Amino acid sequence: MHNKRQFFVKFFGQLSNDQKNNVSLSNSWDCPTNVTLTEETYKNNTLLRFFIGIALDIIPEIRRYNRDFDVEVNMTNVQTDFKDYYQETKKDEITYLNDKDFDFRSPMLFDSNFGIETNESTYNATLYKDYQYFSGFRSSFRLNDYKHMLYYYCNEDTRVSDCAYGGHYPKSGSKECKCPEYLDPKEKCLNFYKSNGKCGEKTKFNASSQEKTHSVNIFGRACYFNITFQERKNVTVTIQKLQINGTLNLIFTAFLEALVRKDKGAAGLHFNKNISSNITLPALSHQVFLVVEGKANNISLQYSYKEDDSNKTEELKKWEVL
């Protein structure tokens, strides 16, 4: 049930002879949404979150109209009963996705063995697949999911807010924004949270046609770097070095996340291992955020940045949101 401010999902223990997962969405106030899950699915937190999302009428990431920019789907390897979860939508069918990017950390992205027919994956990431978030990071609904639920169920005002980077007010009359991860709601999502690590003297950089390099030694927890091309042309960032030094149990928790998309609410590329050879990030927007979570390690980071003046390959064009 739901009202203007809240909505709930309530589970009732009820035996079913149906050994399949099924969601029958409500089409009126008098008819509830019925969800039937197998015991295996109910006890799997990842799948349970996914089907709760389905019950709230949030579509799977794989069904996005622009999914081919990020994943290649092998429909021939999907079992018949699961094909609906993979069926690509049209752009005008799910309008709330039009200004939002594919999110590899969304709980609405199931694993590539979901409904698998053979041992081959049902889908593969098409670019930088080694640096996408794995399924263990899909722990909760994301900013874009909550924004959709707010407008869809709570009848909130959908006018453009003064919250930056796709942030929004969680309810009418709110004075504090709900922001993409790493951005401070008290500053209307315009700036990062105050860093609690040693991040060097400079954290904001203006890109130009001339390549520049920045090196920094980081100690502590989170550090944030903003690289912007003021003329709003796409910026190219190359990670030249990432060296994580610390105790073994802490090294595995440190990471660099590069948010290269226009939608800063979507997950970035994830690096949690040392880098000694250049990795050039896809140039998808005029602004790149680099987030370093040190977890009390000593981290050496070096990167270069400049205006993207190259002719984009077809592979890179796939990453851009039309």
Mean pLDDT, rounded, of the chain: 84
151 φ/ψ angles, rounded to the nearest 5 degrees: -75, -35
Out of 95, 113, 136, pick the residue that ends a domain: 136
282 and 203 both lie in a single domain? yes
CA distance 62 to 66: 9
Mean pLDDT of 277-293: 94
Max avg pLDDT among 126-130, 194-198, 260-264: 260-264
Q: Is residue 322 a part of any domain in this protein?
A: no
pLDDT digits (tens, 9 = 90+) for 100-134: 899 988 999 999 999 999 888 999 998 777 787 76
Determine the 3-state secondary structure of 288 from DSSP.
strand
151 and 81 both lie in a single domain? no
149 and 201 both lie in a single domain? no
254 and 172 both lie in a single domain? no
pLDDT of residue 315: 46
Q: Is residue 17 a part of any domain in this protein?
A: no
Q: What is the pTM of this model?
A: 0.84
280 and 215 both lie in a single domain? yes
pLDDT of residue 4: 44
Residue numbers of the domain that contains 172: 141-191
DSSP secondary structure of 152-218: HHS----SPPS-STT-B-SSTT-SS-B-STTB-GGGTTSSBPPP-EE--S--EEE--SS-EEEEEEE
235 φ/ψ angles, rounded to the nearest 5 degrees: -115, 140
Q: What is the DSSP letter of 96?
A: G
Dihedral of the CA atoms 100, 101, 104, 106 (nearest 10)? 10
The number of helices, as runs of H, and strands, as runs of E, in the chain is 6, 12
Kindly report the CATH number assigned to the domain that includes residue 301. Answer: 2.60.120.290
Q: Which is more confident, 146 or 113?
A: 113
Out of 160, 191, 222, pick the residue that ends a domain: 191
Poorest-confidence range of 4-13, 44-53, 173-182, 192-201? 4-13
180 and 291 both lie in a single domain? no
Poorest-confidence range of 16-25, 47-56, 302-311? 16-25
224 and 205 both lie in a single domain? yes
Q: Is residue 91 a part of any domain in this protein?
A: yes
Cβ(148)–Cβ(56) below 8 Å: no
Q: What is the DSSP letter of 78?
A: B
CA distance 12 to 147: 28
Cβ(105)–Cβ(138) below 8 Å: yes
Q: Name 213's bridge partners.
A: 304
Residues 6+ apart with CB under 8 A from 31: none
Q: Is residue 15 a part of any domain in this protein?
A: no
Q: Which is more confident, 156 or 301?
A: 301
Q: Is residue 2 a part of any domain in this protein?
A: no
Q: Is the pLDDT of residue 5 over 50?
A: no
pLDDT digits (tens, 9 = 90+) for 49-91: 999 999 988 999 999 998 998 999 999 999 999 999 999 999 8
Kindly report the CATH number assigned to the domain that includes residue 77. Answer: 3.40.390.10
CA distance 36 to 65: 27
40 and 76 both lie in a single domain? yes
pLDDT digits (tens, 9 = 90+) for 201-248: 899 999 999 999 999 998 877 899 999 998 889 999 999 999 988 765
Number of domains in the chain: 3
214 and 278 both lie in a single domain? yes
Out of 92, 108, 136, pick the residue that ends a domain: 136
Q: Name 235's bridge partners.
A: 307
Q: Is residue 11 a part of any domain in this protein?
A: no
Measured CA distances, 154 to 18, 41, 106, 171, 311 (Å): 33, 29, 22, 9, 45
166 and 234 both lie in a single domain? no
pLDDT of residue 292: 93
Closest CA to 85 of 45, 56, 114, 106: 114
213 and 250 both lie in a single domain? yes
Q: Is residue 106 a part of any domain in this protein?
A: yes
122 and 148 both lie in a single domain? no
* Amino acid present at 299: I
Q: Is residue 152 a part of any domain in this protein?
A: yes
Return the H-helix or E-strand segment holding 223.
Answer: strand 212-228
* Amino acid present at 206: N
CA distance 131 to 270: 5
